[in-house]
Amino acid sequence: MNPKLVIGSFLLIVLIVLAVFPDLLAPYPHGYSDMIRFVETSSGTQWLYAPEAPSSVYPLGSDNDGYDLLTRLLWGLRWTLACVVLTAAMKTLIGGSIGIARALLRLGPSRDRGLSPLAGIPSFVMVYFLIFPVTINSPLGSIRLFFYQCVVMTIFDLGGVIASVSAKTSALLASTFVESAISAGARRSWIVRYHILPFLGEELLETFADQAVAVLKLVGRLGIFFMFIGGTTRTWDPPLLTSTTGEVAGLIGVYRARLLANRWLLAYPLMFYLVVLGALRSFASGLRERARMSRRVLG
């Protein structure tokens, strides 16, 4: 029994279902807002203005523009998860392919130093300055900007993925059954397909999970600095920066000024973000635990 893997997998399935079908739990249609409403009480008509605290009408409250917070979070979740999954998958695919190729070409560890000439600069800084010029009031539109941001986040921090996959592949190439296949005249494509990839599956899945956690953390840091996935909308009257797509990390950045007043506006997006992060970390930790158990049994 691997409780971390079970819990992480269950939470991820639930989150993916909610991201694909947000209307399952969203109390209001996407884009619905109500800045002012009235209720009849025993003392007469009472007018209520946005933002409203959590209640039976707004389970998680409403923001300054009258949007239901739960509805915004559910519809924004798809952008956050899509960015994390797509970027982590591209990192794993590209880094894994390069790592396998390096091992097959017998490139030694001395070449690792040249993998990233910008390794001394934090990836967050590089990503920030590459997406900053096109993120605020972007002419690209949310979809194209989304893919651009994912590509930018993919190209950094590939060195760790490449080195890990290359080391694992080199160990497999040194094994007896692979050397026998090479001696028998097997082609590289045959060796990769039948002798490398089947044994790298677990390693690549662990790499994907670890990269998903790293990407989500990066998205969260970008959100704090108003670089939102899918675009940042700037208005001048009043001067505001808001998330175009309403993705989860973006809502944290938008509402972080509400730490001292209307705290639910920051608390619930932050809790939502931590649930996603916890699910990914639990899934990744569960995969590593399963791999350790497998090695212990085989050893």
**Residue 69 in contact with residue 266, Cβ under 8 Å?**
no
CATH of the domain at 292: 1.10.3720.10
- Rounded to 5 degrees, what are φ and ψ at 263? -65, -20
Q: What is the DSSP string of 215-260?
A: HHHHHHHHHHTT--TT-EEEEETTEEEEESS--HHHHHHHHGGGSS
> Is the confidence at residue 94, as pLDDT, over 90?
yes
What pLDDT band is residue 221 in, cutting at 50, 70 and 90?
very high
Alpha helix ranges (H) inside the chain: 3-20, 69-104, 123-135, 142-154, 159-173, 176-183, 188-191, 197-224, 248-255, 264-298
Domain tally, the chain: 1
Kindly state whether residue 17 falls inside one of the protein's structural domains.
no
Close Cβ partners of 116 (under 8 Å, ≥ 6 residues apart): 156, 157, 158, 159
Average pLDDT over residues 35-52: 79
User: What is the tens place of the pLDDT at every residue in 121-164?
Assistant: 788 899 999 999 999 998 888 999 999 999 999 998 888 888 88
**Is the peptide bond prior to 54 cis by the omega test (within 30 degrees of 0)?**
no
Kindly state whether residue 102 falls inside one of the protein's structural domains.
yes
Kindly state whether residue 220 falls inside one of the protein's structural domains.
yes
Kindly state whether residue 37 falls inside one of the protein's structural domains.
no
Smallest Cα–Cα separation from 295: which of 142, 171, 166?
171
User: What is the tens place of the pLDDT at every residue in 164-216?
Assistant: 888 888 887 777 777 777 777 667 777 777 777 888 888 899 999 999 999 99
Kindly state whether residue 179 falls inside one of the protein's structural domains.
yes
Can you tell me whether residue 36 is helix, strand or coil? strand
The domain of 94 spans 76-298
Kindly state whether residue 26 falls inside one of the protein's structural domains.
no
Kindly state whether residue 5 falls inside one of the protein's structural domains.
no
Kindly state whether residue 289 falls inside one of the protein's structural domains.
yes
